[in-house]
Amino acid sequence: MATTSIQANAVPISDGKARLITETASPALESVVKRRFDIKKPNVFTHYDIYPEDSNTMLHFVSISNFTSNKPDLTLHAGPDTQAPVLAVSHMPMSTRHFKIGLSHSSSSSPLGDDMEWENLEKQSVKGNEYHMVFPMEDGRRWELAWKRTHGHAVDNKETSSLSMRDWKLVDLQTGQVVALFTNERWSIVKTGTVQINGEFGKGFDQLVFITVLSLYEKVRRRHQRGAWYAHS
């Protein structure tokens, strides 16, 4: 499989953090193998299941927790159930504009393990059309990325909808390259959508993509659920 290597320099900015300045991405994204994953859902919304495209072997189980104090809203496991080690978590407080994302380094069985590295998924617009985040690379550099709602970019062989609030593209903020996509499955009762990752970007990148895009999807789902509840109350 072709590998996309990111060459970059980290330079200090005013807040004291390192900022990733991307110089090159080689080879070009169009020449690498694009990896796709199907995200499925059970009849009752208690978890998401992630499968490599056209595979029957579950890669990740993502448990959902609603209104449970001190427990992550989403927990990404390295296997088919909650007994598998935790790879990433997402806290989705209703009182803030941002999500708190935890990435595990040791595949701990605890979602609140001391090994978690915490990053923010930060809302950039009133309408929630863009969220910024950082991918902490293994060499200590930090890659700035943005999930942007899209109606013009779709997973290969899929289509977006002009009415959908659930189609996203992940963009390198320095180069503008699209490094990942999520296209919602509008007419399926089994499938939530498909994630496409345009290359290999290092340890933990896939997990960051999964936990963040599902955070965005889950936020919209909960908002629609609350709207339906109020409409019938």
Which of the residue ranges 13-27, 41-55, 98-112, 193-207 would you say has the lowest mean pLDDT?
Answer: 13-27
pLDDT at 43 exceeding the cut of 70: no
SS3 137: coil
Higher pLDDT, 80 or 228: 80
Q: Which domains does the chain have, with CATH numbers?
A: 31-231 (3.20.90.10)
Token readout for 165 is 């609030």
Contact 74, 90 (CB under 8 A): yes
The pLDDT assigned to 6 comes to 45
Residue 215 backbone dihedrals phi, psi, to 5 degrees = -60, -45
Look at the pTM and tell me if it is higher than 0.85: no
pLDDT band at 223 (very low <50, low <70, confident <90, very high): confident
Which of the residue ranges 22-31, 49-58, 177-186 would you say has the lowest mean pLDDT?
Answer: 22-31
